[in-house]
Amino acid sequence: MVDDIQSASSSNGTPTFSGASDLDHDFEVLNSENFVTSKSVEGKKRELLIRIPIEKGMRAQHYKCGACGRPIGMLYGKSRLCNFDKLYYCLDCHLDEEVIIPSRVIHNWDFRKHKTCTRAKELIEAVESTPLFDLKELNPKIYDHIKEVEEVQKQRIQLQILKSYLWTCKKDICEQFNQRLWPQDHLHESVHIYSLSDLVLVHAGTLLPKIKTAVQFGIDHVRKCFLCSQRGFICEVCRSGQVLHAFDTKENFQCPKCYAVFHKKCMNAQKPCPKCQRKFQQARRNTERRVSDDPK
């Protein structure tokens, strides 16, 4: 899954130098020809993808290239700074190539391309379509400050709810649902996890319409399908008899603990859920019964 770091040599055949593996930010380059998963992106690679590093200076590198270990700086040779890991590299290992840096997107919503070393560019390109970044864990405040991310989150909540309906229906319905999201069909698996390419599409404004199309397909199917339409709830507060569905997030409220659905006008997060209260009281009665039946 992962290739060893290739020790670079200069174009004129100059031998490479050892010592690069001693650097704090040393990392391996993924083989882009193989399938990349979140498990294959761990340790230093993951840390560099999600954290913006601080430049420590060439002295901290012992005046050696961050990849091949060739002496750089002062009398040894020219160098270039990589904006991905903030290490210095020789001119053979840093070709002034530019790429969007994931950590700057996650924390600064910065989609500008920055100059990076060759191995950093290869790593980012290898993982750009892999869902690796949990925004709720890495930068939860992004939902408060970036409107397009907040809107996508709302739609992904609906996607996840609709999946629970469609996955119990006909197989071809699931396939049609996935086709509307492909190749981002991981979007209904979680509400907060994104790939770099997902975030680029969010910023460009093209991911939200795509998700809305899948959401509308799911809603239309549930309302028309006899089996799916029966998988609803009756509001236990007003008991109006109207069948409620959790994906109607504008009109309905779903309890995060028991998943019962109510009208928003009847229930919200500040009010006690009647189903949860009923379950709690039943559990307490069962406990009291067991205690009273205990002969000791």
Query: How does DSSP assign 39-71, residue by residue?
Result: GGS-HHHHHHHHS------GGGGTTB-TTT--B
Mean pLDDT of the chain: 83
pLDDT of residue 64: 93
Which residue, 252, 267, 279, 180, is CA-closest to 221? 180
The structure's pTM equals: 0.75
pLDDT at 21 over 90: no
Token pair of 103 as six digits: 């950590």
pLDDT of residue 111: 97
pLDDT at 32 over 50: no
What does the alpha-carbon distance between residue 181 and residue 213 come to, in Å, rounded to a whole number?
Answer: 9
pLDDT of residue 19: 40
Token pair of 4 as six digits: 């060893």
pLDDT at 52 over 50: yes
pLDDT at 17 over 80: no
pLDDT of residue 42: 63
Of the listed ranges 16-20, 113-117, 184-188, 292-296, the least confidently predicted one is: 16-20
Q: What is the pLDDT of residues 150-178, one digit of tens each?
A: 999 999 999 998 998 898 888 889 999 99
16-22 contacts at long range (C-beta below 8 A, 24 or more positions apart): 16/68, 16/69, 16/70, 17/64, 17/65, 17/68, 17/69, 17/70, 17/71, 18/69, 19/62, 19/64, 19/69, 20/64, 20/65, 20/66, 20/67, 20/68, 20/69, 22/62
Q: Quick one: pLDDT band at residue 105, thresholds 50, 70, 90?
A: very high
| Coil, helix or strand at residue 219 | helix
Instruction: Summarize the confidence of residues 249-266 as an average pLDDT.
Output: 86
pLDDT at 267 over 90: no
DSSP-derived secondary structure letter, 253: E
How large a percentage of the chain has pLDDT more than 70? 84
Instruction: Summarize the confidence of residues 77-103 as an average pLDDT.
Output: 95
